[in-house]
Amino acid sequence: MKKVLHTSQTRGHANHGWLNAKHSFSFAQWYNPERINFGALRVLNDDIVAAGMGFGKHPHDNMEIITIPLRGSLRHQDSMGFSEVVKAGEVQVMSAGTGIFHSEMNASNQEDLNLFQIWIFPNKQGVTPRYEQKSYDLKDSEQRFLQLVSPHADQEGVWIHQNAWIHLVNMEENTSLTYEIKGEGNGAYFMNIDGAFEIEQELLKERDAMGIWDIKEIVLKNKQKGRMLVIEVPMIF
């Protein structure tokens, strides 16, 4: 078993006034040669976007881009013709493939938006761009791993072009659950949304994260009621 601990305060930070961003991996002006990626997981940004503000039209290609609002709602528009609002309790995926343009704005003029944006390297280059959005019930994550993303179009959640999964779990204090690695050669990156968890003798507080690989099962022990995001990805891709 191998592991790497990324505490909250070691993340990159950029405050642009309208955007307060925390980067788990090197992004934009923040560069850390030891924090480029975790396997196929390239980006995990924890963004707070001010009311009425957002990211103007910009391009992407050959990347699986997953957005999970935690608070508030996101207005999305893209070159494929989609114009959607993505709310807390929903997950959005774009397979950028051969190339897309899109914009992402806070849909509210009164409240901040907090979201995770996740980039995962695809297992296929040059695919036809696609968009998908689904809602989930937070209650379905109570004491179980609720699947938000998988490689399979016929399974729970949205799907992507990679042998990767994303789960959300909401655990009560002094309980434990075991996460089983699904893909051969995969590892899991655990981002503590809130509360406190113990994983492999390490205590993770709010927004601390840990990557673990070369292991089949990982035990989560909850020390303070909270939510955990689990991102399982290939370590070699």
User: Parallel, antiparallel, or unpaired for β 130-135 and 146-150?
Assistant: unpaired
Give pLDDT, residue 88.
Answer: 97
3-state secondary structure of 181: coil
- Which residue type, as a one-letter code, is found at position 2? K
Tell me how many domains the chain contains. Answer: 1
The whole-number average pLDDT for the span 17-41 is 97
Give pLDDT, residue 223.
Answer: 97
Give pLDDT, residue 1.
Answer: 96
How far apart are the C-alpha atoms of 233 and 58, rounded to whole Å? 26
Of 107, 60, 55, nearest to 79 by C-alpha is: 60
Of 169, 163, 55, 159, nearest to 117 by C-alpha is: 55
Give pLDDT, residue 77.
Answer: 96
3-state secondary structure of 231: strand
- Which residue type, as a one-letter code, is found at position 226? G
CATH number, domain containing residue 211: 2.60.120.10
Task: Indicate the pTM of the whole model.
Answer: 0.98
How does the average pLDDT of the chain come out, rounded?
97
Give pLDDT, residue 35.
Answer: 98
Domain extent, residue 44, equals 2-234
- Neighbour count for residue 57 (Cβ, 10 Å): 11
The whole-number average pLDDT for the span 75-89 is 96
How far apart are the C-alpha atoms of 142 and 120, rounded to whole Å? 26
- Neighbour count for residue 89 (Cβ, 10 Å): 13
Confidence of residue 230 (pLDDT cuts 50, 70, 90): very high
pLDDT digits (tens, 9 = 90+) for 137-196: 999 999 999 999 999 999 999 999 999 999 999 999 999 999 999 999 999 999 999 999
